Structure 1
């Protein structure tokens, strides 16, 4: 993306820089989301300026719905999935809306753009007994006292108990854990703070980590970070993903998954246990109830499978 961005004419390059500042400072989006949005806009503006002898002074002149459709058609021709096309269309609409508000574009062409909807599918989830097996196994490893094993057990317990995102887990500080109320204070998307509860198993695992294992890895650079890497710095998402993948591998019959799979498992098990959608929405930090409603499909499909196997009049 860096080479494509540098290849843009100066006006378009400056426009992208201003848009990036808006995403970071005013929208408070994560670094990953900002990079994705900016990359899509760089692609769009590169398409707009392709073959032009002279760049317009504002970097976006001539950007209309026809250009947007042609750009997406080109993406489709390159074999990109419906999900990718939907994301890039959303990024384009966000950009043109901003450009119109700031006076760069006289109208908002993105408002007229219709793109294919992404197939919204959920990753596989663990069955409750598989989740218990995973946590029991990691707890056994932690029982031997190795600080990394103690850390891994604590983060697995918290991921499943609280259904937090991997970025939220990595951003936790020690004082974000309130043991008296058994809640964690997490900073979610858009810098929105919420409190998430956890149970006694997660409490025990966190206490063991904070009161024992953490000091074995902590260095001067650790600061207040709750979970640490082997060099004492705040743990990064790649390490957490590796820990989850390795833990899931030890569970017979479990679908391979990362931290997001544990989050989905937690939400599914809550709904199957009788939790209402609004409560699960608040726990997960979803902006809309529609996102949380995806889980009802999982639970209904599972109930149908159980019904088909067990009800005498199912067949």
Structure 2
């Protein structure tokens, strides 16, 4: 059942490898809980009380509500799949409610700090140095997701038109313009790439390891954390923080919300609107500082 569901996600839903792995880990964790708590591990036998017991167990482990809600969403998708496949006759997740959670504003790097990072960062002229520079600049200057950067190939970068084609969630394509700065550094990186590996094929991945194999998430995380450590005090220094920073800075400069939505690859405005809260906070600060009656 689990194998069939994973196969369905990969080949029919065409979800990202990162999402597939998250679904698989959630379901394996649930299966382990069933075995250790109720002495069975068949998903089709589980009923509402078993799932509710798992949710309570997760709460007692002090997991964040957002993490628990994601696991609940995984079970809902899985059991809907089993229902459509005729494996089960009723959905045991039907009455399971998502946990309430406080709204958390996205963490971002302030504009002066980001400018300092871009000016002060020093990278070696070798392949790894230029690659690490490109990782940081592309994440911040395009707003790409981690999975999108890892899956990016040279064939999707159009230096002539100064744009990049990104394959996002649900296998949806979008075009992101490249700034003069990032285009210039991509050209430098391309030169070092060709010198390092003798040849550059358009089918090659854009970000690779020294072995020319595709990059992996933890490698990107390490590059981002290493270079933000010297400038950013926040405990959050992930690739996604650079995506949040991209969106927040655009809105702070007056960018149209719909345009930012398209650049980020969001399916609805609701996901993009969370960034407007940071912009509003900035406006409030300006108002309180400048208005005589504030």
What TM-score, normalized to structure 2?
0.88
The C-alpha deviation readout for 1:128-149, integer Å capped at 9, x for no partner, is 22222211223xx35x633332
Alpha-carbon distance in 1 for matches of 2:182, 2:199 = 27
Matched, 1:130 2:117: no
Matched, 1:114 2:97: yes
Match of 1:40 among 1, 26, 29: 26
Q: What RMSD in Å do the two structures reach over aligned CA positions?
A: 2.6
Task: Say whether the 8 Å CA contact 2:34–2:50 is kept in structure 1.
Answer: yes
- Please identify, of 112-121 and 17-26, the stretch whose mean Cα deviation from structure 2 is larger: 112-121
The C-alpha deviation readout for 1:59-107, integer Å capped at 9, x for no partner, is 3444333332222122222332212221111111111111111111212
Alpha-carbon distance in 1 for matches of 2:25, 2:212 = 33
What TM-score, normalized to structure 1?
0.83
- Please identify, of 27-36 and 175-184, the stretch whose mean Cα deviation from structure 2 is larger: 27-36
Task: Say whether the 8 Å CA contact 1:86–1:118 is kept in structure 2.
Answer: no
Matched, 1:197 2:177: yes
Q: Give the gaps of 5 or more residues in structure 1.
A: 1-14
Alignment of 1:84-233 (within 5 A): 84-138=67-121, 141-142=122-123, 145-210=125-190, 212-218=191-197, 224-233=204-213
Q: Give the gaps of 5 or more residues in structure 2.
A: none
Task: Say whether the 8 Å CA contact 2:106–2:275 is kept in structure 1.
Answer: no
Residue 60 of structure 2 corresponds to 77
Matched, 1:21 2:7: yes
Residue 12 of structure 1 corresponds to none
Matched, 1:278 2:258: yes
Runs of 4+ in structure 1 off by over 4 angstroms are: 46-55, 219-223, 252-256
Match of 1:299 among 275, 279, 288: 279
Task: Say whether the 8 Å CA contact 1:217–1:232 is kept in structure 2.
Answer: no
Task: Say whether the 8 Å CA contact 1:163–1:283 is kept in structure 2.
Answer: yes
The number of aligned residues is 293
Task: Say whether the 8 Å CA contact 1:182–1:198 is kept in structure 2.
Answer: yes
1:168 Cα shift?
Answer: 1.1
1:307 Cα shift?
Answer: 2.6
Task: Say whether the 8 Å CA contact 2:140–2:242 is kept in structure 1.
Answer: yes
Mark the CA change 1:236 to 1:68 in structure 2 (over 3 Å): closer, same or farther: closer
Alpha-carbon distance in 1 for matches of 2:217, 2:38 = 42
